[in-house]
Amino acid sequence: MGKANRVVKTFLADGSWTAPAGVTSIRARCVEVLDPELWTTADAAHMLGISSSEVSATGGNGFAWGFNSSGELGTNDVTPRSSPTLVVGGLTFTQMSGGNSHSLGLATTGFVYSWGSNSHGELGVGTVTAISSPVLVAGIGGIGAFRAVAVAVGLLSSFGISPQGDAYGWGLNLNGRLGDGTVTARSSPTLVVGGYKFRKLSPSGDQSTYGLTPDGDVYAWGGNPNGQLGDGTVVSKSSPVLVIGGIKFTDVMAGNDHVLGLASDGSVYAWGDNGNGQLGTGDTTPRSSPVLVVGGLKAVSIAAGSDFSFLVTTSGDMYAWGANSGGQLGLNNVTSKSSPELVVGGYKWFKAMGNQGNGYGLSLAGDLYGWGSNTHGETGDGASLATSSPVLVVGGTRFQAADRLLTNEVIVDVVPGTTYSVTVQQLFAAFGMQPLGAPSQRYVELEYFT
């Protein structure tokens, strides 16, 4: 018998689907695509993006630039790049995530690839050898290959959400940041305990991890010296605990030791370390539970760098606060701020991003800008000079990148030859999906094998 052919049908609007001969069961899942963005994390010194010129709703080529000491750019070498460079291997991706020295890519096939450093098994390939080009992440228990609907990278650790909404982690397990109830490093995907279903994971750049559930709760696990778990304590946890306060969130973003949460009413909350004013509370006092960012701004998106923060308002303005020694706030100065201030340049923005020492913004016009540190070309402007105001990323590449937030997945029995209606909005309502702010895109995927 020949190898089964995996088929994924995407419905961006209501439609119909006829079950092919021999197909008696399918997976139906609902996905929310956030505002267009690219990927970097709080401890990273490189950026990842997916080209929009070659992408539909199902993926495109991966690009990377910046630091590359461990092969984290996926260019089959360790040479840094100061402008977007194609990730090798001929793969197409729907999501990418970059950490301190390694990266993950979610391929259009549904399988997860990794590259870069591997000192604690963070590549998920069962070894601790660094690899500078994409390799398949091992499956559960080291069997086969790992399949996911979303991926995320933290400090020397990696995470993925299975099609069923379960979270898995591998790599460094400092203070229990993998959430498996232990502090033992793992070199292949290991289940996060507790039985929770997640639609997004946001690992910090240090020692903790955060998961957003379909109903808007945030759970946290790992190190907690600054109260960054948001449970009202400073005690580390190796399994998920609920962030207190009763707030329903539509997004969560982790910095190194602080966290931002976007509430369903557009308010922005913060908790954890605040040594550089990164909580936006007008002071430098840490918080062990969510507190409102001052200023009364309503946001459609949030972003956290190592010890600084961003939000984008409903009118497309970007605000920044926190550490600013390298100009990473984009305020045309190097003065740290403990409350939100407007990013200069007069641009209107879709999305902000932050990493170890840089800010990035994708404008409404579709252009990507960077600012801050540029020692290894991480600003992406083809130069090596730091800048404290937005500069255009060179290369002419348009990026469509998006967070895929899984709401739920169900297995449906079908009858071959029968036509079924696919109603996108009803499916999302049934799964309790909440709007995440415009612009966003909701769609349904049907997966089966022929």
Report the C-alpha gap between 60 and 16 in whole angstroms.
26
Rg of the chain on CA atoms, in Å: 20
Which residue has 């902000």 as its token pair? 352
Q: How remote is the C-alpha of 361 from its chain's centroid?
A: 15
Residue 141 is predicted with a pLDDT of 83
- C-alpha distances in Å from residue 171, one per residue of 144, 155, 159, 235, 275: 18, 9, 9, 22, 28
Do residues 224 and 235 make contact, with C-beta atoms less than 8 angstroms apart?
Answer: yes
pLDDT average per 10 residues of sequence, the chain (450 residues): 65 76 83 46 52 42 83 92 86 84 90 96 95 96 90 93 93 96 96 95 93 93 98 98 96 95 94 98 98 94 93 90 96 98 92 86 78 80 84 64 49 87 53 32 71
Q: Is the pTM of this model over 0.95?
A: no
Q: How remote is the C-alpha of 250 from its chain's centroid?
A: 14
Residue 42 is predicted with a pLDDT of 42
Q: How remote is the C-alpha of 397 from its chain's centroid?
A: 21
Do residues 108 and 93 make contact, with C-beta atoms less than 8 angstroms apart?
Answer: yes
Residue 40 is predicted with a pLDDT of 46
- C-alpha distances in Å from residue 403, one per residue of 49, 93, 245: 12, 12, 25
Do residues 30 and 433 make contact, with C-beta atoms less than 8 angstroms apart?
Answer: yes
Residue 314 is predicted with a pLDDT of 80
Residue 432 is predicted with a pLDDT of 32
Residue 4 is predicted with a pLDDT of 65
Per-residue three-class SS string for the chain: CCCCCEEEEEECCCEEEECCCCCCEEEEEEEEECCCCCECCCCCCEEEEEECCCCECCEEEEEEEECCCCCCCCCCCCCCEEEEEECCCCCEEEEEEECCCEEEEEECCCEEEEEECCCCCCCCCCCCCCEEEEEECECHHHCCECECCEEEEECCEEEEECCCCCEEEEECCHHHCCCCCCCCCEEEEEECCCCCCCCEEEECCCCEEEEECCCCCEEEEECCCCCCCCCCCCCCEEEEEECCCCCCEEEEEECCCEEEEEECCCCEEEEECCCCCCCCCCCCCCEEEEEECCCCCCEEEEEECCCEEEEEECCCCEEEEECCCCCCCCCCCCCCEEEEEECCCCCCEEEEEECCCEEEEEECCCCEEEEECCCCCCCCCCCCCCEEEEEECCCCCCECCCCEEEEEEEEEECCCCCEEEECHHHHHHHCCCCCCCCCCEEEEEEEEEC
Which tokens sit at 113? Answer: 């690839």
Report the C-alpha gap between 436 and 24 in whole angstroms.
34
Residue 378 is predicted with a pLDDT of 74
Residue 143 is predicted with a pLDDT of 87
